[in-house]
Amino acid sequence: MADSRGLLPRLPRSALPGWLVVCDFDGTIADIDVTDGILSRFALPEWVDIEVEWKAGAIGSRECMRRQVDLLRVPLAELDAYLDTVEIDPDFGAFVEACHLMQLPLVIISDGIDYAIRRILKRHGLDDLPLASNRLVQISNSTYRLEFPDSDPQCRAGSGTCKCAVSSARAHGSKRLLIGDGSSDFCLAGAADLVFAKTKLLQHCREGSLPHHACPDFATARQLLRELDVPARSPIAVKRTWKAALPPVPPAAALEI
């Protein structure tokens, strides 16, 4: 939200250090909703009926995605071929580097599919970023199930991956900056200290008067980070701080053929 001089508002000095950056994936890092892209191509048609139940609020995203992934019928090589066509925001890598230089730990928390996220990020050399998401497990040549290692029985949204619980556990007392776009971010947006928001999440933040900045892409997000008033640090001293701050995540998609 630039002013008449084209300048972005300066964020409070208290904003840094001591922040955890939480990034959504589908529609935020990836241009599209990858989960929808997978289901629309490779699931039996009933997946749409389940989506209707979820949109009506009859079921949470955890039950929705568990049932939808049960309907997938696709060999892994064909799934990979699709995933290899998915693009990400061209400035996400530079944003990660900016966080790195500012000693801001970053974690991707997604209610999508871990295997898809890692496959896509790997093409960009970013698959070592901390990730919490729903776990895809292959159970035959072309069928799968979804597991939920980061769900929370107390999750008010019934999510497969509870963004509130995961980010709270990983923040270690730091404030939380959420970057997202959609309804899977609504719950955490109400608990986060600041939100960089676009599309549906931006509207949600405006309607709820939540602390936020309009942020259509990672070029803007990076610019907003640079507006934060933090002391200069040596890049040498902060190499890959997110790895030190957060435990490694095991490889995705354990195969059980």
Binding site for Mg ion (CB under 5 A): 24, 26-27, 181-182
User: Looking at beta carbons only, is 152 or 181 nearer to Mg ion?
Assistant: 181
Cβ contact 247:30 at 8 Å: no
Q: CB 32 → Mg ion: shortest distance, Å? A: 10
- Please list the residues that pair with 16 across neighbouring strands: none
Q: CB 198 → Mg ion: shortest distance, Å? A: 9
Residues 155 and 7: their CA atoms lie apart, in Å, by 38
User: Looking at beta carbons only, is 24 or 152 nearer to Mg ion?
Assistant: 24
Residue nearest Mg ion by beta-carbon distance? 27
Structure tokens at 100: 């790195």
Structure tokens at 218: 């990672």
Q: CB 24 → Mg ion: shortest distance, Å? A: 4
* Terminal Cα distance for the chain, rounded: 51
Q: CB 231 → Mg ion: shortest distance, Å? A: 33
User: Looking at beta carbons only, is 15 or 126 nearer to Mg ion?
Assistant: 126
Strands (E) in 17-119, as ranges, are 19-23, 106-113
Residues 128 and 133: their CA atoms lie apart, in Å, by 14
Cβ contact 206:214 at 8 Å: no
User: Looking at beta carbons only, is 102 or 121 nearer to Mg ion?
Assistant: 121
User: Looking at beta carbons only, is 160 or 182 nearer to Mg ion?
Assistant: 182
Q: CB 241 → Mg ion: shortest distance, Å? A: 25
